[in-house]
Amino acid sequence: MFGLWDVPLALATLAAAVALCWPTAAALRHRAAAKRMELQVGLARLRDLKQLAEFQQRRQQDVMRLRRTAERLAAGIDSRPATPWPTAISEISRNRPGGVYARRIIAYGPNFKMLVSAARPDLVVEYAQRLGMSPFIRQVTPPAGGTRDGGSGESGKVIRLHGSFAGE
């Protein structure tokens, strides 16, 4: 059946086939490893993009929520009539105790800022409390430090009051 030369010929053919296929197999393994690495990088990028999309969606929802809140607050402010300036000034003047002098009143929208001088520091606190009880003034905030220059509110110093007018 088989001759004397058939076995060495088969071995030589096998060796040649292995010698030719070995580099091809190595190249295919290398390409497969490169594709696996490329796939891992792509999956990591996809995860990052999904996280970014979720973050952007949450941020957009937060912006929409803030926009609705701002629109609601603006509608609430617009629906309330503003206190007329003469009424506000007469209310500020009517509540002023003796010894307190308004140096400057600055109004911006419904808010105001006052610079006052007082004979005694307790008069400024009393004035702020009186203004706070007024139906035309929503709030008055005396400064924590007392005076513009950081002092304790001694007589003659300029003291800053902040507040806002209420609607009628």
Query: How confident is the model over 25-73, as pLDDT tens digits?
Result: 999 999 999 999 999 999 999 999 999 999 999 999 999 999 999 999 8
For the chain, state the CA radius of gyration. Answer: 42
The pLDDT tens digits for 110-122 are 778 888 888 888 8
The pLDDT assigned to 150 comes to 39
Token representation of residue 145: 């430090």
Which DSSP state fits 124?
H
Residue 127's region, left for phi above 0, alpha for psi from -120 to 50, else beta, is alpha
Read off the DSSP letter of residue 50. Answer: H
As a whole-number percent, the residues of the chain with pLDDT over 70 amount to: 80
Query: Residue 89 pLDDT > 90, yes or no?
Result: no
- Check whether 22 has a pLDDT greater than 90: no
For the entire predicted model, the pTM comes to 0.45
pLDDT at residue number 168: 45
As a whole-number percent, the residues of the chain with pLDDT over 90 amount to 29
Looking at residue 144, its pLDDT comes to 63
Mean of all residue pLDDT scores within the chain = 82
Task: Report pLDDT for 105.
Answer: 85
Sequence-distant (≥ 6) Cβ neighbours of residue 124 within 8 angstroms: 100, 116, 118, 142, 153, 159, 161
Question: What one-character DSSP code corresponds to residue 98?
Answer: T
Q: What is the pLDDT of residues 46-59, one digit of tens each?
A: 999 999 999 999 99
Q: Which amino acid type is present at position 87?
A: T
